[in-house]
Amino acid sequence: MKLFLPFFVYLVVFANCVHAQPCTPAGNQTTYGTNNVWRGYVYDNIDFTNYRGYVTEGSSSNPNFDQSFGGDDVSYATNGCPVQTSTFSVRYRLRKNFANGTYQFVVGGDDGFRLSLDGGSTWVIDRWNDQSYTTQTYTAALNGNYNMVLEFYENGGANRISFSVNAVCAPSGNPAVYGTGNVWYGYAYDGINFDTYVGRVTEGAAGNPDFDESFGGGNVIYTTSSCGTQTETFSMRYRLTKNFPGGTYRFIIGGDDGYRLSIDGGATWLINNWNLQSYTTTTSNTLSLSGSYNLVLEYYENSGDNRVSFALQTLTILPISVEAFTAAAKDNKVDLSWTVSANSTPRSFEVEKSADGMSFKSLGMVPSNDNWAITDYKFSDISVAEGISYYRLKMTDADGVLTYSKVITIHIVASGSRNINIYPSIVTGNGFYIKSAQQIRNAVITVTDLNGRMLIKQPAGNIAAGQPLQVQANAIAGKKGMYTVAITGSGNNCFAGRIIVQ
């Protein structure tokens, strides 16, 4: 009776025969790869036993590689015998010459990995444990030939080993040097607190130090004279030594995020807006500058949009021009109002008052705003007395120059008093008459125009009630217009009326 084996039994026998085929591992396990090409010696165990053959990684132009061995549990071919990728190890060797410089190594693995630069005597990266894929970085200054050894093992599950090395850019330029001739030196740093210096840029031009920089985008590489920095979290320190001709200046700084400006090398901050914020600007107070100053503008970006700007305004100081100055009595006080021209540059106004139009005293100070955007000002005098009061403005401009406004008057009449009688009220000749309703001692007659200018002052001595007095009007003869006539005397007696000159 014939016996027939099932078909699957033949397959098992055939597979066993194939597996049993002898193979000879190639390579001596000690030779280093050269010209950026690694020699990787493969072992059928996690502890570098049962050598199976060698592989190569990298290329003549670049030693970097990333290997996943074809899968989690497959047969991985070598120059020699294959190895199953469930539990195995690889020792990579490469002798490489490094030009003098700084280099960053990044090695990753699943499971264990470690890197040596001295043939395996010491490990600069050592993650020799079971783990999912992770990376570790090492930075070193190198110069000459190095015997690199990269070891890896896999202990079940996913597998992967990666290696990369890149020259680290060495920043040039001394971050303490100031730009000149209106050209800023800007020093870029990786990190928002001036952490790692990466290189220098310039801003401004020979004719103008103003600039507005957005760094190429919200999250890109911003290049400098040396290295680049990612524009997500970085900082800038701009320096400029600038000579200011004697004059008045104002700075306008903007930023997204924080910014601050110093004109004394960073000892103090003229503008300080060191906050997370969308783009905003800050204007300094007006400054009188003359000579050389060390300007420092600092800026940081902490994700999102980024922008920093600088503008310098040179201000032309013009005389303060008062376009209107008025006084009005209301509620036991006198409200003073004045308007200056749009091109005036006041620093402050001091309101002064006089009882006789000659001796003035200060009532109070009204400051100007720094941008001179306000042209209308007000002040209230609460020390009101019967009679005529004279007011003027002592004005200080941005350069500290003092000037005075015209003098204006207001007549405060006591409740129940009667006006004086003036005739004729329309004056065509060289004089007119005035008569008071009551006796006045040491009387003085004054005539002022509507701008408060005193044109006539005539002492009249002691006058009786109803006594007519002639007033010589040569000073206003022929000068058409309306005028205020007042009699003042001892005891703050004051009476006023109006005439019209034709």
Given pLDDT bands bounded at 50, 70 and 90, which one contains residue 417? very low
Of 287, 286, 288, the residue nearest 369 (C-alpha)? 286
Q: Flag whether pLDDT at 1 surpasses 60.
A: no
Q: pLDDT tens for residues 20-58?
A: 457 899 999 999 999 999 999 999 999 999 999 999 999
* Range 466-481 burial, b when 16+ CB lie within 10 A, else e: eeebebebeebeeeee
Instruction: Kindly state whether residues 282 and 346 are assigned to the same domain.
Output: no
Same domain, 96 and 213: no
Identity of the amino acid at 362: S
**What is the mean predicted confidence (pLDDT) over 339-368?**
88
Give the domain-ending residue among 360, 389, 412. 412
- Whether 365 is in a domain gets the answer yes
Phi, psi of 33 (to 5 degrees): -70, 160
Q: List, in sequence order, every residue forming a beta bridge with 42; answer none if it has no partner.
A: 53, 90
- Domain CATH code at residue 381: 2.60.40.2060
**H or E element in which residue 497 lies:** strand 494-501
Same domain flag for 359 and 484: no
Q: With DSSP H G I counted as helix, E B as strand and the rest as coil, what are the percentages for the chain, rounded to 5?
A: 5, 55, 40
Looking at residue 85, its amino acid is T
Are the C-beta atoms of 396 and 375 separated by less than 8 Å? no
Residue at 1 is within a domain: no
Q: What is the mean pLDDT of residues 136-162?
A: 95
Residue 133 has pLDDT above 70, yes or no: yes
Report percent pLDDT > 90 for the chain: 55
Q: pLDDT value at position 419?
A: 60
Among 130-139, 218-227, 380-389, name the one with the lowest average pLDDT. Answer: 380-389
Through-space distance between the first and last CA atoms of the chain, rounded to whole angstroms:
158
Res 19 pLDDT > 50:
no
Is there a single domain that holds both residue 54 and residue 118? yes
Domain containing 439 — which CATH number?
2.60.40.1220
Domain match, 332 and 310 both:
no
Sign of torsion, CA 282 284 290 292? Answer: negative
Structure-model confidence comparison of residues 318 and 265, the more confident one = 265
Residue 405 inside a domain? The answer is yes
| Lowest-pLDDT choice from 16-30, 40-54, 287-301, 467-481 | 16-30
pLDDT band at 16 (very low <50, low <70, confident <90, very high): very low
Last residue of a domain, one of 387, 412, 437: 412
| pLDDT band for position 465 (cuts 50, 70, 90) | confident
Q: Among all chains, which residue has been given the structure tokens 């202990």? A: 155
d(CA 328, CA 391): 12
Q: Say if residue 15's pLDDT is above 50.
A: no
Q: What would the pLDDT profile of 395-411 be if each residue is shown by its tens digit?
A: 988 777 888 889 888 87
Kindly state whether residues 408 and 426 are assigned to the same domain: no
Average pLDDT in the 216-229 region?
89
Please tell me the distance from the alpha carbon of residue 355 to that of residue 353, in angstroms, as a whole number.
7
Domain count for the chain, please give it: 4
Euclidean distance between CA atoms 340 and 346, whole angstroms: 9
pLDDT band at 178 (very low <50, low <70, confident <90, very high): very high
In a domain, 426, yes or no: yes
Residue 370's pLDDT is what? Answer: 60
pTM of this prediction?
0.47
Q: Count CA atoms within 13 Å of residue 145 on its CB side.
A: 8
Shared domain for 227 and 311, answered yes or no, is yes
Domain of 340, in residue numbers: 322-412
> What are 73-108's pLDDT values in tens digits?
999 999 999 999 999 999 999 999 998 888 899 999
338 and 377 in one domain?
Answer: yes
User: What pLDDT does 4 receive?
Assistant: 43
pLDDT classification of 11: cutoffs 50, 70, 90? very low
In a domain, 4, yes or no: no
Question: Mean per-residue pLDDT for 171-199?
Answer: 93
448 part of a folded domain: yes
Number of other residues whose CB lies within 10 A of the CB of residue 260: 19
Q: Does the pLDDT value for residue 435 go beyond 90? A: no
- Confidence check: pLDDT of 149 > 70: yes
Would you mind telling me the total number of residues written for the chain in this entry?
502
Instruction: Tell me, yes or no, whether 280 and 360 share the same domain.
Output: no
Residue 330 lies in a domain: yes
The closest alpha carbon to 197, from 187, 205, 206, 207, belongs to: 187
Residues 291 and 242 in one domain: yes
CATH number at residue 48: 2.60.120.1560
- CB distance 448 to 465 below 8 Å: no
Judge whether residue 392 has pLDDT over 70.
Answer: yes
291, 315, 339 — which closes off a domain?
315
One domain, residues 89 and 189 = no
Cα separation of 313 and 370, whole Å? Answer: 13
Indicate whether 17 pLDDT > 60: no
Asked whether residue 393 falls in the same domain as residue 439, the answer is no
Question: Could you tell me if residue 109 is inside a domain?
Answer: yes
Which residues are within 8 A (CB) of 358 and not within 5 positions of it... i.e. 6 or more apart? none
| Chain centroid offset of residue 308 CA | 6
